[in-house]
Amino acid sequence: MSQLSTKHLLGIKNLTEEDIQLILDTAANFKEVINRPIKKVPSLRDITIANVFFENSTRTRLSFELAEKRLSADVVNFSSANSSVKKGETLVDTVNNILSMKVDMVVMRHSSPGAPHFLSRNVNANIVNAGDGTHEHPTQALLDAFSIKEKLGDVAGKKVAIIGDILHSRVALSNIFCLQKLGAEVMVCGPITLLPKYIASLGVKVELDVKKALQWCDVANVLRIQLERQQIKYFPSLREYSLYYGINKKLLSQLDKEIVIMHPGPINRGVELSSDVADSEHSIILEQVQNGVAVRMAVLYLLAGTKG
């Protein structure tokens, strides 16, 4: 197979295993390209891509922009904070106005779950979800899978514990779908208040004790406490969260094996992860960021080859 089964990347849920493998294989080729002295290829020379961000981002926005430039696409960047959205313009009107300037693809981050799905039904362009609220973050899950495969040789058969604020995390949901489709075992771990009630129905193991989760897994993907999405208190204090769920060198030294530490960023140092772990030889956090460019190049390149 050399083409994706979809013209949009809205989530991992609707991708086939073949789609995911195709993206990871294509990303491996692009990783080789971006490590060359000349990092640019002409693959998307006649394509224009708009990065439309209604929510803050450092890694995802810069990574998409670099991926687009490495593929020789033309790029425009839109940030809602200084746009006519502030004057009341709707999402569909905003994007249709951008598309009327001969834009072909839209990469969108939005705080509302389902916003990219809605957009894909109402505008004529390839849509890439760069994170929709608490729902999905498909390119993060793809770059996480790529990074696990690169570090451990394969994803199939590996045990991955996702630890932290599962309730508010789009990274958790996309990772669960992606890892399971690739044959990994998945566990979620966190305070009971930060685990969605439906989570066990997704076929994941559920663990409240972080020490047991760390002892079980090959890879711990540690998530940030998303205070900005929490309208009520889910735990007494950040200090208390850190005492019971924070991952530090002492905890890792008590395990009878070495595990890989991942984090999608941004890290709240000293809350979910101590600096002596985030910056240690166990951590592949910056490799994840580096791999994000190759994975996003693969996604954009493959979507550009789909028929509308």
Q: Which is nearer to ligand CP, 65 or 104 (CB)?
A: 65
Site string for ligand CP, 37-76 (x = CB under 6 A): --------------------xxxx----------------
Q: Mind telling me the catalytic residues?
A: 59-60, 87, 109, 137
- The span from the CA of 148 to the CA of 130, in Å, is 20
159 is in an annotated binding site: no
Q: Would you say 198 and 208 are in contact if contact means Cβ atoms under 8 Å apart?
A: no
- The span from the CA of 225 to the CA of 263, in Å, is 12
121 is in an annotated binding site: no
- Examine residue 190 and tell whether it contacts ligand CP (CB under 6 A): no
Site string for ligand CP, 111-150 (x = CB under 6 A): --------------------x-----x--x----------
- The span from the CA of 8 to the CA of 4, in Å, is 9
**Taking CB positions, which residue lies at the least distance from ligand CP?**
60
**Residues contacting ligand CP: total by CB under 6 A:** 10
170 is in an annotated binding site: yes
Give the single-character DSSP code of 12.
S
Q: Name the minimum Å distance from CB 264 to ligand CP.
A: 4
Tell me if residue 48 falls in helix, strand or coil.
Answer: strand
Give the single-character DSSP code of 269.
B
Binding region for ligand CP (CB under 6 A) out of 38-46, 82-90, 147-155, 260-268 = 260-268
- The span from the CA of 77 to the CA of 129, in Å, is 15
Q: Name the minimum Å distance from CB 130 to ligand CP.
A: 7
Q: Name the minimum Å distance from CB 58 to ligand CP.
A: 4
- The span from the CA of 181 to the CA of 243, in Å, is 34
Q: Give me the helices (H) in the chain, please.
A: 17-34, 59-70, 91-99, 115-122, 138-152, 170-181, 210-216, 238-245, 249-253, 275-278, 285-304
60 is in an annotated binding site: yes
Give the single-character DSSP code of 195.
S
Q: Name the minimum Å distance from CB 65 to ligand CP.
A: 11
102 is in an annotated binding site: no
Q: Which residue ranges are tagged as binding site for carbamoyl phosphate?
A: 59-60, 109, 137, 140, 265-266
User: Interface residues with ligand CP (CB under 6 A)?
Assistant: 57-60, 131, 137, 140, 264-266
